[in-house]
Amino acid sequence: MFKSKNTIVKRIVYGFSAIALLLAYYPNVASAAQITARTVTIGSSAASASTTYAFGFTVPSATVIKSVGFAACTTASGACTPAPGFSSSASSLTSQPSNLDGAGTNTGWTVSTATAGELRLSKSAATVAPTGAQSVSFSGVVNPSATNSTFFLRMTTYSDASWTTPIDTGTVAASTAGQITVTANVDETLSFTLATATVALGTLSTAATGTGTSAMTVSTNASNGYSLTYSGTTLTSGTNTITALTTPTASAVNNKQFGINLMSNTTPAVGTAVSGSGTGTPSTGYNTVNSFKFNTGDTIASATLPTNSNTYTASYIANISGSTAAGAYSTVLTYTATANF
């Protein structure tokens, strides 16, 4: 059927109008690129904990960045549903960001706490495009409220200081986790508790070593693997403590000692070898048979590539001397697994 020239022209105009509307509704989609080398290190994985978040990343675009947002969402893509309980309302910078406004340590970046579900910083006076690897750390961030819950931090850089014109984006996964409570009673029963499992270690004496184990399993599809760290204090009863082995040391009875490793030991006989089909390995200081260490904040195991699961058995040893004061000794240890994207 013959169509008039006016009809054809109208349809072309309508088509261009529809394209214009789509571009207006989805600004900058075509120009957004993927942020690379994405990592986040969380100070504590405990649900609802107020803690630190340290981000590392590299932006692909040579565009001046004037604001950055890190939104905590329940999914990695699609519309962002804020992770329940996550809050940036009391957040602050622990130090000025590195390399966001050119090379070196920058100044002039400020935090906005107006959006509770997103960590935000801006610098309206930024004039230099970022170079090298970028980093920024926040304190006073409240974790999601659900234990053992995965959430996703969506990174977005912006060319304006009001978080409206995106440049590049990327996502990193994180998770909350439960905590391990370690308890010890000198001259009574020494026990370690993990979830509902209790390991009875017998009675500590100057002639015998108290031992116990807990297990954890880690896997990730992150391009740079993962890091497994721990934090906490040595066994403590009031003002009395059992000495932490800050350097790798063999267990020795009649000495105040508290330490861990991830090995199958013979002296004392405690622990099992790392199992599973993954590529993770124990870290230096925790990878020698019959040698134990306790230094809060250490990385205890890691993998450098995407990996299937590995199960690590943490072996604990405690010794006392004849002068060790009686009492109920305890500590809380937190293990944190961080994916390195």
In sequence order, what are the residues at sequence separation of 6 or more whose Cβ sits closer than 8 angstroms to the Cβ of residue 100? 65, 68, 106, 109, 123, 126, 130, 134, 136
> pTM value?
0.51
Q: At residue 283, what is the residue type? A: S
Tens of pLDDT, residue by residue, the chain (341 residues): 444 445 443 443 344 344 333 333 334 444 568 999 999 999 999 999 999 999 999 999 999 999 999 999 999 999 999 999 999 999 999 988 999 988 676 799 999 999 999 999 999 999 999 988 999 999 999 999 998 889 999 999 999 999 999 999 999 999 988 776 666 654 432 223 333 456 466 688 999 999 999 998 888 888 888 888 899 999 999 999 999 999 999 999 999 999 999 999 999 999 999 999 999 999 999 999 999 999 999 999 999 988 988 899 999 999 999 999 999 888 888 888 888 87
pLDDT of residue 216: 87
Give the Cβ contact number of residue 288 at 10 Å: 16
Can you give the residue ranges of every domain in the chain? Answer: 33-175, 180-339
In the beta sheet, which residues pair with residue 113?
A: none
CA distances, 82 to each of 87, 211, 287 (Å): 9, 43, 40
DSSP 291-322: EEB--TT-EEEEESS-EEEEEEEEEEEEE--T
**CB contact at 8 A, 144 and 151:** yes
Least Cα distance to 126 among 145, 104, 107, 144 occurs for 107
What kind of architecture, by CATH, is found in domain 33-175? Sandwich (2.60)
CA distances, 3 to each of 8, 10, 68, 222, 302 (Å): 7, 11, 52, 57, 69
Least Cα distance to 57 among 127, 154, 166, 163 occurs for 154
pLDDT of residue 201: 65
